[in-house]
Amino acid sequence: MLVLHVSDTHLGAMPYGLISRAKDIYEAFKETIDIALRERVSIYLHAGDFFDSPNPLPESYVIAYRELRKLKEAGIRVVIIAGQHDTPRRHSVSPLYLLQDLGVVDMLAINSITSGVFRDSSLNVLIYAVPHGLKSSIHSIAVSREGQNRSVLVAHLLLKEIGIPSEEADVSLSQIPRGFTYIALGDYHMKTEFRHVDGAPAVYPGATEIHKENECCDKYVAFVDLSAEKPAVSFIKLKSVRPWIRIKCVDVSTCMRELSSIRRVEGVKKPIVSIDLQKIRVETIAKILSEMVSSGVIEYYRIKVAEDSDALESSIPRLSDAYEYLDLGRIVRNMVRHEGLAQLLLRYVKEPSKQVAEDIVQYLKNNTDAVKALETNSTHNAFQYGDSEGGSTNSSGVVNRKTSTVGRALQSKPSGGGK
Ligand SMILES: [Mn+2]
């Protein structure tokens, strides 16, 4: 029996606020479906964070349904567990239920540890599914091998063994019971393989696209053959993932040379360029990079400036004068529809500084209602659906091409490619 193990597709995510990146996320998901069909797997096993949000955008539902229906029509069974992203915070239900009600998901685990038997001509496979919310009960599973040929565990959790300092990484491999043939994990966005003490591979295929720079660069799904007593695991690299080019700039001429060597490759998506800038003025490099965006060589760029960011602060234009004739207050309030946050954002526009950016982050942490309001406000209407498959998507409405200082300051510290 063949299984395609996929995780962290995050449908609806829009890294850096770019429509093109939202489209990348959908395309990576579609590629996993194409692989499942091409490889004629029996089970499409999704280890959580299927959607990016418990309130998915309409296009996320449409794409999810259209793609999963292809699996249904091919007789491929679909198992999905909820990650923290597709579990609602309170008083609501997971969007995954709709997919089950529409008949394109065969087994779902959201609020409980669920198990089910999947048969093909040669094997009985028992799948135990542990959603994110139940991860601390994982030790209590009693693995039954009675009448079953293979047992598979699917769970959404960060293993301690990954080694990233996180309160979330609170389950260790030794807490997972013995007796599984294969352990399919999700949550960690980087391809990683562990081995359980009884020999079972414990695998994170990783996210299907890159959400943060530290999740760069190759992305995979795991292809698992359960025919033999010991499963054969291989990784299939996703081809649709947008390339990233990372350049460390220590002097202007080397930096220029490296940038000018970037070429548009036919049939490959335009890359994202990430610059680590040391002692070079931001403006010098930003000008070249934005020309590369305009001329269609690269999709997007980000500039990281060395920690002592005096140079960065001084490069921020003071907007208060230039925008005096605009009713900024009204614009910002209409955008965020939350008074406290609007005031902070206005302060930032008038006096951009790291301190105000940090205040904004702190404010968001303390005000879940503001976050909720922002989530439900986030609309991007550039998606268009035709009646045919793969309706055209307009990517011209790119928001915020350049890494703004707010974006940079709001970006959290690298955590080694977490969830
Ligand atoms: Mn995730």
CA 418 / ligand 1 centre spacing (Å):
7
Q: Which residues contact 240 (CB under 8 A, 6 or more apart)?
A: 24, 27, 28, 30, 31, 269
* Closest C-alpha among 245, 243, 247, 240 to residue 34: 240
393-398 contacts at long range (C-beta below 8 A, 24 or more positions apart): 393/19, 393/23, 394/19, 395/19, 395/20, 395/23, 397/19, 398/18, 398/19, 398/20
> Please, is 366 exposed, middle or buried when counting C-beta atoms within 10 Å of its C-beta (0-12, 13-18, 19+)?
exposed
- What pLDDT is stored for residue 307 in this prediction? 59
Residue type, 179: G
The number of C-alpha atoms within 13 Å of 87 and in the hemisphere containing its C-beta is 17
CA 142 / ligand 1 centre spacing (Å):
27
CA 321 / ligand 1 centre spacing (Å):
42
CA 157 / ligand 1 centre spacing (Å):
10
CA 178 / ligand 1 centre spacing (Å):
26
> Which residue bears the tokens 């660069």?
217
- What pLDDT is stored for residue 139 in this prediction? 95
CA 188 / ligand 1 centre spacing (Å):
6
Q: How far is CA 232 from the centre of its chain?
A: 27
CA 48 / ligand 1 centre spacing (Å):
7
- What pLDDT is stored for residue 37 in this prediction? 98
CA 82 / ligand 1 centre spacing (Å):
10
Beta bridge partners, 384, equal none
CA 9 / ligand 1 centre spacing (Å):
7
Q: Is 86 left (phi over 0), alpha (psi -120 to 50) or beta?
A: alpha
Distances (CA, A) of 376 to 191, 333, 339: 32, 15, 16
Distances (CA, A) of 121 to 43, 45, 289: 14, 19, 56
* Closest C-alpha among 91, 148, 160 to residue 118: 148
CA distance 176 to 197: 10
- What pLDDT is stored for residue 250 in this prediction? 86
- What pLDDT is stored for residue 377 in this prediction? 59
**DSSP 8-state code for residue 307:** S
- What pLDDT is stored for residue 376 in this prediction? 67
- What pLDDT is stored for residue 380 in this prediction? 43
Q: Is 365 helix (H, G, I), strand (E, B) or coil?
A: helix
Would you call the peptide bond into 216 cis, given omega within 30 degrees of 0 as the criterion? no
CA 119 / ligand 1 centre spacing (Å):
29
- What pLDDT is stored for residue 110 in this prediction? 95
- What pLDDT is stored for residue 28 in this prediction? 98
CA 373 / ligand 1 centre spacing (Å):
22
CA 169 / ligand 1 centre spacing (Å):
13
Q: Is 305 helix (H, G, I), strand (E, B) or coil?
A: strand
- What pLDDT is stored for residue 419 in this prediction? 54
CA distance 236 to 246: 23
CA 416 / ligand 1 centre spacing (Å):
13
Beta bridge partners, 107, equal 79
Series of mean pLDDT values for 10-residue runs along the chain (419 residues):
97 92 97 98 98 95 98 98 90 92 97 93 92 95 82 96 88 95 97 96 98 93 95 97 92 89 88 88 86 92 71 45 60 80 84 84 84 64 41 35 36 45
Q: What angle do CA 400, 391, 5 make, to 5 degrees?
A: 85
* Closest C-alpha among 174, 169, 170 to residue 188: 169
